[in-house]
Amino acid sequence: MFMFFNLRKKTEASQRGRRTEGDDRSGQDGAAVDDSSQVSCFDRLHKKEKEEFLSLLATTCATLPDGGEHVLDSFISTEGHVTPEYLRQNLAENGFDIPLSTVKEVLELLCRYGIAQKLMLNGTGPWYEHLHLGSSHDHLVCTKCGKIVEFEDESLTTYIDRLAGLQQFLPLAHKLNIVGICPACQQGTSHTMPLSLAAQGERVRIVSFEGGGRMKERLNSMGLSIGEVVEVLNSSGPFIVNARNSRIAIGKGLAQKVMVSLV
């Protein structure tokens, strides 16, 4: 079983730039972890990371751009996954008008000096997160709402090491992103929906075609038929599906006429 963990309990943040999971945490013995102790722990960790970063900059004769320390403080005090746009908005809400280019520059500096790491999740991003020393985790990514859940499972690491060993491969690190649909979005999904609403990576079954006879003939001629299971390969730009191991491009308007259900 996966053990879900989240670096600090918090409410869901802006859909445009910050994703994290806000479930309660438990200690290794199953006892609840006091939130105040978690906050204190991470406050100390964040302070240490900031001090180390500024020390590394001084050692290498590098400097922050104008306004960079405000960006640094905003990122250091934020857990979870953030985008440059989210940080810029957060700064603006606190009275700091920092150009987006400056935000991106500081984030790249944080990555260069080992304080943060940049990643792409399900084709979105870049996202930035803290690179806490001695901490390793993987991600569950919801294709519907974009929620990112961090999880850690020692048995998974052991299994990956065993698989690598069978191939006489020395594993140094791994990064696993599991793409799917979170519980909340599963509950909110109706039995049928237009194909145009399906997310990349989803497998859906065609249940009906909207429109007249010509519309149905056109879809049938493309290789789409009622009862067939297709996989969405791309849902931005041209809508591409895998039908019978063939790639088919469908216009957004046409995809709205194809009613599907989740498999």
Separation between Cα atoms, residue 66 and residue 56, nearest integer Å? 18
Buried b / exposed e over 82-93, threshold 16 CB at 10 Å, is bbbebbbbbbee
pLDDT one digit per residue (tens) for the chain, 263 residues: 233 333 333 333 333 455 444 333 333 333 333 444 444 666 777 788 899 999 999 999 999 999 999 999 999 888 778 899 999 999 999 999 999 999 999 999 999 999 998 987 766 678 898 886 656 677 787 877 777 787 778 888 888 889 999 999 988 777 777 877 788 877 765 567 888 888 888 889 999 988 778 888 888 888 899 999 999 998 877 789 999 899 999 988 888 889 898 88
Looking at residue 96, what is its pLDDT? Answer: 95
What does the radius of gyration of the chain's CA atoms come to, in whole angstroms? 23
State the CATH architecture for 190-262: Roll (2.30)
CA-based nearest residue to 200, from 177, 179, 222, 219: 179
Domain ranges (residues) in the chain: 3-136, 190-262
| Predicted pLDDT at 136 | 66
The CATH code of domain 3-136 reads: 1.10.10.10
d(CA 121, CA 140): 9
Query: How much is the pTM?
Result: 0.50
- Can you give the pLDDT at residue 30? 34
The pLDDT value given to residue 21: 43
